[in-house]
């Protein structure tokens, strides 16, 4: 039985979509080093101005049970928060999706609630 990968997509308004898709991954290898890692499974979900964050080592069985969806969304949010905190490149940190996502995270209403609009695909 094959498990599926989980990813978060940040849009230019700071919104986060969580996507579950089959684990098809391919790499560009130059001189024995992995240069670019592409997640072919998520290509159809990401627009050119959005940012894709695949949670490494996190696989789920589809369909995801409803009781596990809030936990899965929190796991993706935690990975994105960690990723942002560990970056040192101002061009990445100042990109529109990251800046808007950080502003959305600072809001004080509806924190830690799972809205049905947050659940895009399971």
79/119 Cα distance (integer angstroms): 17
The residue whose two tokens read 């978060």 is 8
Beta strand ranges found along the chain (DSSP E): 4-10, 16-21, 26-30, 33-38, 51-60
Binned at pLDDT 50, 70 and 90, residue 117 comes out as low
Q: What confidence tens digit (pLDDT) does each residue in 26-78 have?
A: 444 555 554 445 556 666 667 788 888 889 889 898 888 888 988 999 999 99
What's the length of the chain?
122
Q: What is the mean pLDDT of residues 101-106?
A: 88
**Residues linked to residue 27 through DSSP beta bridges, in sequence order:** 37
> Which structural domain range is residue 17 located in?
4-118
Domain tally for the chain? Answer: 1
């Amino acid at each position: 039985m094959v498990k599926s990968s989980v990813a978060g997509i940040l849009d230019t308004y700071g919104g986060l979509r969580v996507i579950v898709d089959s684990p098809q991954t391919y790499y560009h290898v130059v001189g024995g080093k992995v240069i670019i890692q592409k997640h072919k499974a998520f290509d159809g979900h990401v627009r050119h101005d959005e940012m894709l964050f695949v949670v490494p080592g996190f696989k789920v069985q589809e369909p995801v049970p409803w009781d596990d969806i809030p936990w899965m969304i929190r796991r993706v949010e935690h990975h994105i928060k960690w990723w942002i905190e560990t970056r040192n490149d101002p061009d990445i940190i100042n990109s529109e999706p990251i800046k808007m996502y950080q502003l959305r995270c600072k809001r004080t209403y509806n924190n830690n609630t799972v809205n049905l609009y947050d659940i895009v695909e399971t």
